[in-house]
Amino acid sequence: MTRSLQAVAYCRPSVLESAAGGQRLGLETSRGATPCGVEDHPRFFAGFLTSPQASAAGLLAVADVAAARYYQRQLRASLDPVVTGNGDRLRFESFSGCGGVYARLDVLEPGLDGGEVGHGTTNVDVNNPLREALSRIGTDDPLHLRVGPEELAVTTLDGPVVEKKVPLPDRWLRGFAEAQVIAAGFDLRAELPAAEAVRFLRALPRGGARGTAAPRWVVPAGRSLRPTTRAVPGAVCLPGSERLTALQRVLRHATALRVYGPSVGSAAAAASAWEVVLPGMRLTLTLSPDASRGFSGEGGVLDALATDEAAADAELVSVLLAWEPRIDVADLAAASGLTAERVRAALIRLGTSGRVGYDTAEAAYFHRELPYDADRVERHNPRLRSARALVAAGAVALDGTVGTVTAEDGHVHRVRDEAGVLSCSCLWWAKYRGGRGPCKHALAVRMVRRGTAVDQDMGRVDGGAR
């Protein structure tokens, strides 16, 4: 498994301290992207949180996920959370070390008071002493939040004094991207009022996640949810209920629970999103289809990555982004001259480099720039690399709606096109039936049909004839 060390540096540790008339929470930022370019320690907000206890609990929940591995727990976890300023809100995001849980706390305009929200994205320091201090907040005394260094420190910093280095596997990067693509296919399936939400979540089993149990399903029943053993219409998969543990942090402040998922087409396990509505905030956990199966192998981004058209479109669309909290596809289509379908494909591609996320509550993408070299997601995606190698080797032959692919071991696979959906005779397709994206043979056929040119030396797709 390819991995590298990701270094983050802060000018000082984040801290919660007492002050006259309340408490002050200083969250230190690392190097990140802003409208003015890359800055070492950008400053996004200085003002008050309108719901201090709920805010502290939400931040702890996001930090819990960042530090957690719900599968193979003996291994190290992942990065500090990511913070994005979108002009009218702050978003705190994290991804579990096992690659199967994505968390995001959206602190909306009603949750902030007394300060303008900047634009940009970077990591934010959440250290153990800060976690302990946040967990002790017991009153709703005024809580002042600063995201970024003190005004004086901005001009007097001699250099970072806190540095962290953590392993960053390629599958972790791919998973972060896949989580956004999968969530874009969700719809709201159920909404529970506060009392029912608390009752349901507290009744969930909290056993260890081993990925061996059959998928658990829930279905709306009046104002609550009831378990079911079958994937009936309207059901939502709850894969590894112990992975919702972080939501326990905020239950006393919850006003509702919203559950999102895809349309149920088979009994196969599916991803889902669980959103707790808080005063002026939303906390969302998105779960992969299985505790032992992270988002990185779901294949939702492969079609977009495999086209020249999406690459050029993504470059054009990226110029038009400005840290919008809600990206309007129609507006982007009008501004870029592209169709709405091509804009959506471009957004998927931008998601693979961490440049957009997806908000299930608003059913819209939002702009952010994750602070790592996520171009590796495309370069090191194994199925994509294999498909390019097949194209470069001349292993694909087309005959009408059928493509013939001669694999490296000499086996011949048939790829059929049925109304734009490709199926293959390989074992991968037989096992997953397209449920985890296209196989390498289908990808290779799609590349050839679209006239994608493959640079054999660089191992990448170049702009060829369409």
Greater confidence (356 vs 348) lies with 356
Mean of pLDDT values over 411-438: 84
* Most confident of the following: 145-149, 219-223, 446-450: 145-149
pLDDT confidence band for 106 (50 / 70 / 90): very high
Residue-level pLDDT at 419? 77
Mean pLDDT for the chain?
Answer: 85
Q: Which region among 28-42, 91-105, 130-144, 198-212 has the lowest average model confidence (pLDDT)?
A: 198-212
Residue-level pLDDT at 235? 93
Q: Do the beta carbons of residue 443 and residue 385 sit within 8 Å? A: no
For 259-279, write each residue's pLDDT tens digit. 999 988 666 788 999 999 999
What is the rounded CA–CA span in Å between residue 240 and residue 421?
31
Smallest CA-to-CA distance from 78 within 93, 91, 61, 96 is with: 96
Greater confidence (190 vs 431) lies with 190
pLDDT confidence band for 152 (50 / 70 / 90): low
Residue-level pLDDT at 140? 73
Mean of pLDDT values over 64-73: 83
Pick one of 1.10.287, 3.10.150, 3.30.70, 3.30.420 as the CATH number of 177-292: 3.10.150
Mean of pLDDT values over 56-85: 84
pLDDT confidence band for 377 (50 / 70 / 90): low
Greater confidence (409 vs 12) lies with 12
Is the pLDDT score of 464 beyond 80? no
Domain segments of the chain as ranges? 3-167, 177-292, 302-376, 381-462
pLDDT confidence band for 230 (50 / 70 / 90): confident
Is the pLDDT score of 154 beyond 60? no
pLDDT confidence band for 6 (50 / 70 / 90): confident
Is the pLDDT score of 150 beyond 50? yes
Is the pLDDT score of 155 beyond 60? no
What is the rounded CA–CA span in Å between residue 88 and residue 356?
17
Is the pLDDT score of 457 beyond 50? no
What is the dotted CATH code of the domain comprising 302-376? 1.10.10.10
What is the rounded CA–CA span in Å between residue 378 and residue 382?
9
**Given CA atoms 184, 190, 196, 199 in this order, what sign does their dihedral have?**
negative
Q: What is the DSSP string of 382-448?
A: HHHHHHHHHHHTT-EEEETTEEEEE-TTS-EEEEEEETTEEEESSHHHHHHTTBTB--HHHHHHHHH
Residue-level pLDDT at 451? 73
Is the pLDDT score of 285 beyond 50? yes
Strands (E), 176-255: 187-193, 217-221, 224-228, 236-237
Q: Which region among 64-73, 353-362, 428-437 has the lowest average model confidence (pLDDT)?
A: 428-437
Sequence-separated (6 or more) residues with CB below 8 Å from residue 98: 68, 69, 70, 71, 72, 75, 291, 294
The residues facing 276 across adjacent strands are 257, 283
**What φ, ψ does residue 437 adopt, rounded to 5°?**
85, 175
Where do we find the tokens 């895809």?
A: 262
Helix (H, G, I), strand (E, B) or coil at 298: coil
